[in-house]
Amino acid sequence: MSQDPVDEALRRHLPSLPRPRSLPKRMELVYDGMGDRLAMRHHLDRYDELSGGPPARGLDDEVLRRMASYLLSLAEGRWRRLAKSIPALWKRGGREHRKLAGMLLANLPEEALGDQRWTVFSTLLQDDVGLAPIVDAAEEIRRATGDGPSEAWLLAMAAQAPLWHRYAAVIVMTGPPEDVGPAVHDMVASVDAPSRMFERLRERWLERHVDAGAA
C-alpha cells in the first residue's frame, strides 16, 4: 500500500522541529514532495503578484491544515519556538507560507505568541502583500477563536497609516457585519479601494451590514 504523500513528505523533511529561520525552506521541500498541484488553479486566482515569495504550489487548505497540525504536534512543549517561525514564514512570502503562518497564528496558545493574537498578526503587516493573504489569515483566526478584534483595536489600527486603514477594513470584512457599530462601518466605507477585488468585497459587506441593521 502506498504511503500518504503528505505524511511521507512531512516525516522525510521534518523529523523534528527546525529552527525558526529554517522552517520556510524545510516547508518548501515538503511542498515540492507533494508533486505538481498547479492544476488546482482556482485556489490561486485570489493571489496576485504582490504576494511575492516562492511560486504557489496549489496545495489546498485541507492539506495545509494537516501540515499545520503536524507542526503543532512537533512543537508540543516548545510552543514559543514554533511561534517564532511565524514571522519567518510570512516574510518569506508565497501563498502556502502565508496560509500556513495564519493557521499557526490561529492555533498556537496565545501565551506562546507573547501578545494578543490580533496584535501579533498586525506586526506581520508591514508591507503591501495584497488582499488575499490578509483575508485568509484573518478568517483562520476567526475560525479558530470564534472572535474578532475589538472595535477600539480596529479603529486604532486604521488611524496608524493608509495601509493599516485598509488592513483594518479587510479584517472587519472577514467577520459578521452585525458585530460592529457605526464608527467601524464608517471606517470600512471611507478607505480607498486599491483594487476591484477589494471594492467587490466591500460592496458585499456593506450590503450585508445594511441588511443586518434592518433586521
Give the separation between CA 113 and CA 120, rounded to whole angstroms.
Answer: 7
Residue from 169, 83, 95 nearest 129 by CA: 95
pLDDT digits (tens, 9 = 90+) for 188-212: 999 998 888 899 999 999 998 766 6
**Helical ranges in 17-131 per DSSP H:** 23-33, 61-74, 79-83, 85-92, 95-107, 110-113, 117-123
Is 45's pLDDT higher than 50? Answer: no
Distance CA 7, CA 34 (A): 10
pLDDT digits (tens, 9 = 90+) for 129-180: 888 899 999 999 999 999 899 999 999 999 999 999 999 999 999 999 888 9
Q: Where are the domains of the chain?
A: 1-114
pLDDT tens string 31-41: 988 765 544 44
Position 5 scores a pLDDT of 86
Output the average pLDDT for the chain. Answer: 87
Closest by Cα among 159, 164, 76, 155 to 128? 164
Please report the beta strands in the chain, taking only residues with DSSP state E, as ranges in sequence order. none
Return the number of other C-beta atoms located less than 10 Å from residue 209's C-beta.
22
